[in-house]
Amino acid sequence: MRGTTYLLALLISVFAGSNSIAAESSLRIPKSEGVSKVKNPEKSEDSRPAYVYGQIRMEGMQYFTAIPDSPQLSNSQLLSARLSVLKEASWIDGAFDVTGGTYFARGQNHMILHEAYVASKGDEFKVFVGRKKKDWSDIDHRWNLGLWQPYLTLDALRPEEEGLTGIFFDYNKKNYQVLLMVTPMFIPSMGPDVREEGGGLVADNRWYRAPSRDYAFNSRINQITYKLDIPEQAKLVNNGGASMMTRIGDKSKGTWVVASAGYLPVNDLLLKRQAFKQTSADKVDVTVSPAVTYHKIASVDVGYSFKAVKTTISALTDEPEAKLPEEEWSMQSLKPLQAYSAAVDFALNDIITRPIAVQISYLKVVGGSIVDIDSTGVPDDFTLYDSRMKFSNSLMLQLEGQVATWFRRPLVTRIKYRYDYDQRGSLLNTEFQYFPTQKWAVVLGGDVLGVQDEGHLPSSFLNQFRANDRFYGGMTYVF
């Protein structure tokens, strides 16, 4: 699991006070009747109408297993609203996508800026300025790795991909594409809101993994007391980078290749810590602070598309830069990794009449461990977290589409099953949506995690959160 989850959330407070502000995936304006056009009669005749999409979601969630120390986390209620706007003018385009929500608890409000940009006009060459998501890598997007683009992970089973913020120069034709991105700033992946409480770092979230409070010193167990030290916002945000992507071929048919490379800040912040041992007692005071490091990242996707079938083979390499902490400090050292994936996407239109899409994919990750080091580069005898990835050797099967009609209205499902051979465990996500009208949907779903051996890799994602089986239900209104 990513080791920087809890401090990422603290940046949300830095950026937005009591609300969480982050960026997510690119704006998708549906072509259904849920999209409305808003016209302003005072505008000039060549000014086009704005496309507006909105969604309101009401949801209740129940976990099957209670946490003894936090029984209030066994259930939750969510009310959220989303607004997306795309405006096309005669000389420039603009878009933004924002969500606000509340869990009706202290520190559980959030406001998420998914996307905000302006774009020049043009059929082939366009310049985007702002927050924008792009298709840098199939493996990074499909498996939610968060290496190319950051993620919002308030809920680990509902990660929301974010775009990069900068200037994008995009020359895009049917059979090839060249994209260059430069950015002067860095917004990291963000997770649950974390605070100091009782000497520990806690969060009102079932998917937050607190660092250990025990530390072995001179054959004795010492209790750790944590303190947070957040640096100035500018030190974290003022970290630029650049990346480039090229595509040869048409992704909709035939053979195509996508290659991307970049030099960017690592989306997950490093954690550095300074420890003070109290000789008179078995206690250790630890100050924890976030830091930024860079990485060289490159990926290649090779695919072949024929009618409703698309096959993709992907490879990705990630080489974080070595960074040493100050004297008397320790810091996480991210090890390089290589990730490989093979996937097949196809539709069942030729087999059954209902529109159902199927995805089958496999992921293999080599490397990607985390080792805490001191100011000389020597590994420390205490490590906060040991792995960057949730999954490392996994098979995934996903089915999505309309499975039936009830009273002549569609019943849509999304089922995703993942099995990780290294963790010897699985994750099953299911969701059903019934549309009694075009604007209303009734939602019912559940998630099940499990491992075959609880003693195998106890710090792995599936083993750590195996008690988080849950079900949820609610309603969604689209306008």
Q: How confident is the model at residue 40 (pLDDT cuts 50, 70, 90)?
A: very low
Whether the per-residue pLDDT at 43 is higher than 50: the answer is: no
- The per-residue pLDDT for 158 is 93
Instruction: Please compute the mean of the pLDDT values over residues 333-342 and round it to a whole number.
Output: 98
- Give φ, ψ of 10 to 5 degrees: -65, -30
Q: How confident is the model at residue 29 (pLDDT cuts 50, 70, 90)?
A: very low
Q: How confident is the model at residue 185 (pLDDT cuts 50, 70, 90)?
A: very high
- Structure token pair of residue 21: 């502000």
Can you say whether the dihedral through the CA atoms of 278, 284, 285, 288 is positive or negative? positive
- The per-residue pLDDT for 355 is 82
Q: How confident is the model at residue 190 (pLDDT cuts 50, 70, 90)?
A: confident
Give the model confidence (pLDDT) of 59-72 as tens digits.
Answer: 999 999 999 888 99
Q: How confident is the model at residue 9 (pLDDT cuts 50, 70, 90)?
A: very low
- Domains in the chain, start-ordered, CATH in brackets? 5-478 (2.40.160.10)
Does residue 282 or residue 466 have the better pLDDT?
A: 466
Give CA separation, 234 vs 18, 190, 453, in Å: 19, 17, 45
Instruction: Please compute the mean of the pLDDT values over residues 2-20 and round it to a whole number.
Output: 36
- The per-residue pLDDT for 110 is 81
Beta strand spans in 50-136 (E): 50-63, 75-88, 92-102, 109-120, 125-132
Whether the per-residue pLDDT at 24 is higher than 70: the answer is: no
Q: What percent of the chain has pLDDT over 70?
A: 87
Whether the per-residue pLDDT at 274 is higher than 60: the answer is: yes
| C-alpha torsion angle, residues 163, 169, 172, 176 (rounded to 10) | -100
Whether the per-residue pLDDT at 137 is higher than 90: the answer is: yes
Whether the per-residue pLDDT at 164 is higher than 90: the answer is: yes
Q: How confident is the model at residue 218 (pLDDT cuts 50, 70, 90)?
A: low
β pairing state of 195-197 and 309-320: unpaired
Does residue 192 or residue 340 have the better pLDDT?
A: 340
Residues in Cβ contact with 303 at an 8 Å cutoff, skipping those fewer than 6 apart? 138, 251, 255, 256, 257, 258, 310, 311, 312, 313
- Structure token pair of residue 389: 């990835």
β pairing state of 370-373 and 309-320: unpaired
- The per-residue pLDDT for 10 is 37
Q: How confident is the model at residue 214 (pLDDT cuts 50, 70, 90)?
A: confident
- The per-residue pLDDT for 416 is 98
Instruction: Please compute the mean of the pLDDT values over residues 158-183 and round it to a whole number.
Output: 95
- The per-residue pLDDT for 93 is 93
- The per-residue pLDDT for 351 is 65
Q: Partners of 69 in the beta sheet?
A: none
Whether the per-residue pLDDT at 339 is higher than 80: the answer is: yes
Whether the per-residue pLDDT at 219 is higher than 80: the answer is: no
- The per-residue pLDDT for 331 is 95
Find the range with the poorest average confidence among 184-198, 267-281, 390-404: 267-281
Whether the per-residue pLDDT at 31 is higher than 90: the answer is: no
- Structure token pair of residue 40: 């302003």
Find the range with the poorest average confidence among 83-97, 133-147, 172-186: 83-97
Separation CA 428–CA 425 (nearest Å): 10
Give the model confidence (pLDDT) of 70-129 as tens digits.
Answer: 899 999 999 999 999 999 888 899 999 888 889 887 667 888 888 899 999 988 999 999
Give the model confidence (pLDDT) of 293-325 as tens digits.
Answer: 999 999 999 999 998 899 999 999 999 998 999
- Structure token pair of residue 328: 């008397």
Q: Partners of 197 in the beta sheet?
A: 200
Question: What's the mean per-residue pLDDT of the chain?
Answer: 87
- Structure token pair of residue 450: 């499990």
Question: Are 363 and 342 a contacting pair, CB within 8 Å?
Answer: no
β pairing state of 283-291 and 220-228: parallel
